[in-house]
Amino acid sequence: MNIATLLPQAALRWTNLTALQSSSGQRLTFGQFHDRVRRLAYWFEKGIQLRPGDRVVLFMENRMEYPEIMFATWYAGLVVVPVNAKLHAREFSHILRSSEASIAFISNKNADAIVTAGSDTPCTFINVDEGAYQACFGDGKASLVERDPNDLAWLFYTSGTTGKPKGAMQSHRNLYAMLNGFLDKVKKVEPGQALYHGAPMSHGSGYYTLPFMANGGCQIIPASGGFDVEELCQILSEHPSVSFFAAPTMVKRILDRPDLLTKSVLSGLDRIIYGGGPMYLRDLERAHDVFGHKLVQIYGQGECPMTITVLDEAQHKDTGHPRYRTRLSSVGQAQSGIEIKIVDPVGNVLPAGETGEILVRGDAVMLGYWNNAEASAATIKEGWLHTGDVGHLDEDNFLYLTDRSKDVIISGGTNVYPREVEEVLLQHPDVKEVSVIGAADADWGERVVACIATQEGKHCSPEELGRFCATQLARFKLPKEYRFYSELPKNATGKILKTTLRDQVGEIGTGSHH
């Protein structure tokens, strides 16, 4: 059960249909794409003697090479390790070492810093913007390597409350479950329909490559390598049926450009699948007014990729239902093959309407964490994934998220983990205490706020702290706001009260910005 089997099947059925194209004009048919994947897989096997189970890192922006490296990796029985291209070199270095990757594919955008970060590892670096990448494609063509359903296919690094990224191990079975859930509940894909990759292919957009590949869909890679509203609108005006995955902040950025949303642009839009953060009801209703009922919401985690719940197109359209607006504030119902229950702190199942931790079971749930048996045992118990998210189910099994017990901040659809930012800020000599929290933000879903108590007699500015953090953290993790206290609020045992800080920030509104 190798997930790469999708490609030879598609190449036989839709040989001359476009599989992959760039908005700059590059194009590959399914037949051509399959040929390139087999040549690269042959190089993995014969050129550098990789063995099934070895890890292959992708650390670059969205580009034409991304899906061919992914599929060649699986074709050869190897493991894909896609890494967010926005990560700091120090963060990338940790993943490189943890995954014990044999080879990493990078691009000019991050080549210098990244090669330095991995200079003391045995990993081989290939820059796809240089001739060394094209030299990987010889005359030899690999045969598909058979894999067991539970063999590792995708190693997804997601930080935990410790601040160190953990590798969620996703098997071929997990990816097939995600694919089938998508085609059953999220969107039917027809040959020739397109998937636009504006969101990172290291995350949600990359997963959705699979259902489109399975059904003869085309992958559209933006020439910019990421999300650009003008570029997206140009693509929509040129293609009759385009879908894409988007964080709510991306949807909002499109809505903020009504000058670009012409009739021809809107007619090219098939579906927006949104997730990765809260979509405010006001913004969702505005999206319905502009796009029509072309939105679908999903809720998932790295530990159960893209596949926990779905609020489908029909539910977005069901305006006559007496609880319509309430349901729009949910994350929908369980996807195919997924069970959900809400439990109290000792594991008792709670009835509808009562809030507790969300537990999930099904074929999409990860195998566990890479080289971390303790965290795996704490997260998956008796087959149930303990998500760390808090919420409730209503009487119709719609799931409502009310909090995230892991304290994760979701800013612009990307996870930011407070402990990681706190660890950096505490290295500053003038910082005595720090607590990093998320505050509601109309543009980003949540913004990162650092609450700081300085050493006695010391003072530091938001600008200074911003520069300090920028030496160790990716831009999207940098606090957007700093608040200064003489003492941070604590409980009787001396633990900082994040809930109190959140309440204070919520009452005051925006403060010192950087």
- Structure confidence at residue 512 (pLDDT): 42
pTM of the model: 0.85
Q: How does pLDDT run along the chain (514 residues), one tens digit per residue?
A: 999 999 999 999 999 999 999 988 899 999 999 999 999 999 999 999 999 999 999 999 999 999 999 999 999 999 999 999 988 888 888 899 999 999 999 999 888 777 777 777 889 999 999 999 999 999 999 999 999 999 999 999 985 444 578 999 999 999 999 999 999 999 999 999 999 999 999 999 999 999 999 999 999 999 999 999 999 999 999 999 999 999 888 998 999 999 999 999 999 999 999 998 778 787 899 999 999 999 999 999 999 999 999 999 999 999 999 999 999 989 999 999 999 999 998 999 999 999 889 999 999 999 999 999 999 999 999 999 999 988 899 999 999 987 666 677 888 888 787 878 887 898 899 998 899 999 988 888 899 999 999 988 999 999 999 999 999 999 999 999 999 999 898 865 556 888 889 888 876 554 443 3
Spatial separation of the C-alpha atoms in residues 268 and 144, rounded to whole Å: 36
The domains located in the chain, with CATH, are: 27-147 (3.40.50.980), 409-513 (3.30.300.30)
Long-range contacts of 252-261 (CB under 8 A, 24+ apart): 252/283, 252/442, 252/443, 253/227, 253/229, 254/229, 255/283, 255/286, 255/287, 255/290, 257/229, 257/230, 257/233, 258/290, 260/229, 260/230, 260/233, 261/233, 261/290
Spatial separation of the C-alpha atoms in residues 111 and 119, rounded to whole Å: 12
